[in-house]
Structures are given as C-alpha cells and as structure tokens.
Amino acid sequence: MTITTSPARHRSLGDHTWQDQAVCNPTEYNPVDPETFFPGPEEADKIATAKSLCAQCPVRRACLDAALEAGDIHGIRGGLTEEEREALHTNLANRLDHSRVNDTLAGRDIHLTKGERRAVVLAGYRQGVTVERLASLLKITEEHALKLYRETRRAIRHRQIADEATRTTSAMDGSVALGRHDFGTAA
Ligand code: SF4
C-alpha cells in the first residue's frame, strides 16, 4: 500500500488548525515521506525515524488527541505506535483531562468525552459562563445548555445537603467522644 497523505491529515473531528504546523507535512523544503509513519511492526528503523520527527513536532499533543478522537488506530501519531496507543483508544470513553476542559472553556474546538463535557458544564456554571456561551462551546442549543445548568445546580445542592448531613453526624459523634473523656478525667 502506498501512503500519500501525511498522518496529520488523516483525521476529521474538531479543530484542524494545528495540522499546518505538523512536522510530517511534506513540503518543498521538508520532503517527509508519509510512509515513514506507517511502518510494519518489524521496521525498527522506520519507527525510530517517525518517532524522532514526532519528538520535534510542536503539535504532537493535538495530533495524538485527534487520532484518539477520530478512532484512528493506524500508523504512528503523536509519537506513539499503533501498539502503544491501543490502551489509550480502549480507555478513551473514560478520559477526563482537565487541560482539555480548560481549553474548551477558552474557546478551543475539542471533541470531548462525556466526562469532560460534564466537567465543562460544572466549571462553566461555577465560573459564571453564560448559557449562550456554554451552548456555543458545546455546540448545543441554548435550551439544552440551560437544562444542563439546572441539573448542575440541582446536583450541587444535593451534594451540599449530603455534605451538611455528614458534617452534622460527625459533629454529633465528636461531642459524644469529647464528653466521655471529659467526664472520665473529672470523675
Ligand atoms: S506528532 Fe508526528 S504524526 Fe503527529 S503531526 Fe507531528 S509529526 Fe505528524
């Protein structure tokens, strides 16, 4: 199989702007062979060459995220081989990366996991991000964003009530223990 597209172009979700900075983009002055990034498991020299190019790449992190988000399991991405990325692909649905949450709040177009979307809503609520802005960040309707904020407010209230109950119980336990010591020494 002949590969003619650089690995950075093999994906489609979210923000694409990072691709222009990819070291694997072949140009007149940078004649990188895209095939280098699709080595066979035994091609150690090819793997080493691709990894050394990735090590110099300023968009390595964005490239790895893009491959994970697009479910792109082929070739070397972000400096990792197919085998090295396997566990990341498998566990992607459980990812909760706060730097990605913060980047989303800052306006970057990121394909988030469910947990990361929940974290964006919670952080947005706490930081006073408007319903309109949340809707735009998550690419949902304002009605949906408002509903998410209502659910968040309810969840926070329930947790506060639960925390309050725990604190009250602890305080009652503490007073019993204190009383026993005090009466013991006084007797
Ligand atoms: S990290 Fe490697 S595969 Fe990804 S864009 Fe950079 S050079 Fe290409």
In ligand 1, the atom with minimum distance to the C-alpha of 53 is: 7
β-strand partners of 155: none
* Rg value, the chain, Cα: 25
- Distance, CA 61 to ligand 1 centroid (Å)? 9
Cβ of residue 78 lying under 6 Å from some atom of ligand 1:
yes
The domain limits of the chain are: 7-94, 98-186
Among 11, 37, 15, 12, smallest CA distance to 24 is for 37
- Distance, CA 132 to ligand 1 centroid (Å)? 35
End-to-end CA separation in angstroms for the chain: 90
Mean pLDDT over each residue of the chain, to the nearest integer: 84
Q: How many CB atoms lie within 10 A of CB 6?
A: 19
Residue range 161-185: average pLDDT? 57
Higher confidence at residue 28 or residue 134? Answer: 134
pLDDT interval class at 179 (50, 70, 90): very low
Among 75, 79, 78, 72, smallest CA distance to 36 is for 75
Among 21, 23, 20, 81, smallest CA distance to 53 is for 23
Instruction: State residue 13's pLDDT score.
Output: 60
Cβ of residue 34 lying under 6 Å from some atom of ligand 1:
no
pLDDT interval class at 173 (50, 70, 90): low
Closest protein CA for atom 3 of ligand 1:
77
The pTM (predicted TM-score) of the whole model is 0.64
Cβ of residue 22 lying under 6 Å from some atom of ligand 1:
yes
What's the pLDDT tens digit per position in 58-84? Answer: 999 989 988 988 888 999 999 999 999
β-strand partners of 80: 77
In ligand 1, the atom with minimum distance to the C-alpha of 59 is: 6
Q: What are the angstrom distances between the C-alpha of 180 and each of 8, 169, 170, 173?
A: 69, 17, 16, 11
Cβ of residue 77 lying under 6 Å from some atom of ligand 1:
yes
Dihedral angle of Cα 100, 101, 105, 107, to the nearest 10 degrees: 30
